[in-house]
C-alpha cells in the first residue's frame, strides 16, 4: 500500500494534509524517516509512526449511514453519492455501499470495504432481514398481510420469499396506510413492486433495520462507526 494512502486510512489527515506531513519528515517507517509520498509499505507489518505516535491500520471499516432521499447508492456517479456524505478523513478508496437504496428511498445503509460480509448480507440464502417503514396509497388489510406472508412471484422466475407485513395506521377517509415490512431479499425496487402487485403505490419508503443493525435516532445524512460488538452478529449469521 502507498504510504500516503496508509496515512489517510489511519485517519492522520486528508490526502492533501498527509502529503505535507510526509514531505516535512514527520512520518517514519520502521524507524526511518520516509519522505517519499508514494513509498510502498506492508500495511499489516510495517511500523509506521506519525510525530512519534505508532499508527494502527484497520483492514475493514464499517459505517452505518442514514441515507437521505436524492442521494445515489453508488461509489461513482454524476450525481451525489452516499460516499460523498463521508468526511474526508473517513474516505477510503475501497469503501462501497452494501446493496442499494433507490434514490428516492431513505434509511439505513451499511458502508464498508469488507467484501465477504457484503456478499453474505446480500445473499438470499442467509435470510438477513431488511425492515422498512412505508406510506402506501391504498388500504392495507388482513388479506394483504396474508398474501405477503405466502410469498409471491413478481414476474416469471422472480420469486419473493414470505414476508412479514404489519399495519401501523390506516386512514379510511383518504385511503392510505402506514406499514412495516420485513423482507429477506433485496431485489430491484422490490418493496414498491410488491405493493404494485396488490394494486397499491408506495409514496414514501425508509429502511429502518438490516439484520441486527437499526437506524435508531441517526439523522438524515449522518453516519457513525460500527463497533466490533455490533458487527459480530452479522459476521456470525
Query: For the chain, what are the domain ranges?
Result: 3-54, 62-124+212-235, 129-210
Model-wide pTM > 0.85: no
Mean local confidence (pLDDT), 125-144: 94
Place of cell 391504498: 138
Decide if domain 62-124+212-235 falls under CATH 3.40.50.300.
Answer: no
Decide if domain 3-54 falls under CATH 3.30.750.24.
Answer: no
Mean local confidence (pLDDT), 116-132: 88
Task: Name, in order, each residue with C-beta under 8 angstroms of 184's C-beta and a sequence gap of 6 or more.
Answer: 124, 127, 128, 129, 130, 161, 163
Joined grid coordinates for residue 125: 440464502
Mean local confidence (pLDDT), 8-26: 90
Question: Is there a catalytic annotation at residue 102?
Answer: yes
Q: Which of 102, 104, 114, 157 is the catalytic position?
A: 102
pLDDT tens digits for range 81-90:
999 999 887 8
Same fold flag, 62-124+212-235 and 129-210? yes
Task: Name, in order, each residue with C-beta under 8 angstroms of 111's C-beta and a sequence gap of 6 or more.
Answer: 62, 63, 64, 65, 82, 83, 86, 95, 96, 97, 98, 223
| Topology of domain 129-210, CATH | Alpha-Beta Plaits (3.30.70)
Taking 90 as the threshold, does the pLDDT of residue 10 lie above it? Answer: no
Query: Given pLDDT bands bounded at 50, 70 and 90, which one contains residue 97?
Result: very high
Amino acid at each position: 500500500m502507498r504510504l500516503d494512502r496508509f496515512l489517510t486510512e489511519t485517519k492522520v489527515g486528508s490526502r492533501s494534509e498527509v502529503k505535507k506531513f510526509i514531505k516535512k519528515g514527520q512520518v517514519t517507517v520502521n524507524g526511518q524517516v520516509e519522505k517519499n509520498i508514494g513509498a510502498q509499505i506492508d500495511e499489516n507489518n510495517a511500523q509506521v509512526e506519525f510525530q512519534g505516535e505508532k499508527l494502527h491500520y484497520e483492514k475493514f471499516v464499517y459505517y452505518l449511514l442514514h441515507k437521505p432521499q436524492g442521494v445515489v447508492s453508488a461509489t461513482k456517479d454524476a450525481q451525489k453519492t452516499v460516499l460523498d456524505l463521508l468526511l474526508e478523513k473517513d474516505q477510503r478508496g475501497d469503501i462501497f455501499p452494501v446493496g442499494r437504496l433507490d434514490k428516492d428511498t431513505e434509511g439505513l445503509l451499511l458502508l464498508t470495504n469488507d467484501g465477504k460480509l457484503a456478499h453474505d448480507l446480500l445473499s438470499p440464502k442467509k435470510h438477513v432481514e431488511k425492515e422498512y417503514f412505508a406510506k402506501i396509497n391504498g388500504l392495507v388489510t388482513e388479506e394483504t398481510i396474508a398474501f405477503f406472508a405466502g410469498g409471491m412471484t413478481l414476474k416469471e422466475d422472480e420469486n419473493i420469499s414470505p414476508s412479514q407485513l404489519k399495519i401501523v395506521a390506516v386512514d379510511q377517509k383518504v385511503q392510505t396506510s402506514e406499514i412495516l415490512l420485513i423482507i429477506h431479499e433485496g431485489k430491484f425496487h422490490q418493496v414498491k413492486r410488491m405493493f404494485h402487485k396488490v394494486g397499491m403505490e408506495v409514496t414514501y419508503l425508509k429502511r429502518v433495520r438490516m439484520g441486527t443493525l437499526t437506524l435508531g435516532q441517526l439523522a438524515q445524512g449522518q453516519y457513525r462507526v460500527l463497533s466490533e460488538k455490533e458487527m459480530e452478529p452479522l459476521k456470525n449469521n
